[in-house]
Amino acid sequence: MPQPMSPSDTSRDMHECLISVGSNIEPEWHIAQVQKILKEECELIKASRAIRTAPVGLQEQPDFLNAALLVKTSLEREVFRAYLKEVEDRLGRVRGPVKSGPRTMDLDIIAWDGEVVDDGYYQHDYVRQPVDELLSGSGRQLNGRGCPSL
């Protein structure tokens, strides 16, 4: 039976975080770069395969590559969320007036210590498919059916 995601028993509290990854500007390169950054600056446990998906919202843009990453961090959730936004910036993310526009990198926390914290998991196949692949390959499962908004 799959084990729930949980912090490891170490001298300091570690959190497991499932991250949804998306890019449609040089996506192969940017996804490789975010994996490299998270491997060096956190503990990258596992990565899903990337899937190609059509854009949602603004249609006049390239397809996206979407994936999921499982990492461990000693940071608290809101601090880690801010860190992920800073990683997006380092990878050239430009936040414009069109929220669904092209991007070098989009990183969203989907689950924190096994609890779903972003309803995108339930609403979007491009989030759910890579997350479910990662979960099945890691022996983990998510808790809860409803989820709070971030």
Residues tagged active-site: 93, 103, 106, 108
pLDDT exceeds 50 at position 20:
yes
Distance of CA 90 to the CA centre of its chain: 16
Task: Give the architecture (CATH level 2) of 26-141.
Answer: 2-Layer Sandwich (3.30)
* C-alpha span between 131 and 121 (Å, rounded): 8
pTM as predicted: 0.85
* Chain segment 76-118, per-residue pLDDT in tens: 999 999 999 999 999 999 887 777 778 899 999 999 999 999 9
Q: Which residue has the tokens 């300091």?
A: 12
- Among 26, 33, 63, 62, which residue's Cα sits nearest to residue 47? 33
Domain spans of the chain, in order of start = 26-141
